[in-house]
Amino acid sequence: ANAPYPPEGVANYAIMLMLMAQRKVKLLARHSAAQDFGLRGKLGKDISTSTVGVIGTGRIGSTVVRHLSGFGCKILAYDPYPNKEVEKYATYVDLDTLLAQADAITLHAPGLAENYHMLDSAAFAKMKDGVVLVNAARGMLVDTEALVAAVESGKVGAAALDTIENEADLYYRDLSREVLPNRDRSVLMAFPNVIVSPHMAFYTAEDVRAMIFNSASALLAFSRGVDTPFEVRA
């Protein structure tokens, strides 16, 4: 069985990351801690004047679109299977158009083989200079080497990542006294304009309760020989 949870937790976390990236919160926090309260280099961009591209409009992506609509920004969406509800708030376009026009891009596509490195060097080349990238979906969607190069060149003005490639066996443990065996994370964390959080967009009281409840519900259904909507079927 699977253990579905409400989409709002991840959706709102992705929006939070986007706001943090656009308003340079990581840089602000670092400088504030050092008592540097100057304004130089800290000018942000308002999401309300942005064009936001949402890649993937399933349960989470469609929730992102609906919640983003309250900010007044222009929303572009890409998905092989358009959602009529999403069309109330966003305009579906092809992927190349989204990449070329979006000021900020948030990923909500599934981790399927055909989506591996959906954002590679060729995709970054199609984006606006200074684009903001958010990934609260799957690390494999982004070619990390290409992302690092895009940050270094200024093509990507900021990135906020809740998931990265090769993060298996890394998160949900206290590794504060160890040298992390993940150079990609170390490089990304070193950038003042890149936020990396430890794959915890799902971690709300509401989502965890739903995962536990739905898992237990499925186990009870299996033990009783009755159907459950959470069963994984071929």
Which contacts (CB < 8 Å, 24+ apart) does range 149-153 have?
A: 149/121, 149/124, 150/121, 150/124, 151/188, 151/191, 151/193, 151/194
* Cβ pair 137, 58 in contact under 8 A: no
Contact 110, 56 (CB under 8 A): yes
First to last CA, the chain: 12
Note whether 177 and 152 are within 8 A (CB).
no
Q: Which residues have a catalytic role annotated? A: 138, 167, 199
Judge residue 196's burial from the number of C-beta atoms within 10 Å of its C-beta, 0-12 exposed, 13-18 middle, 19 or more buried.
buried
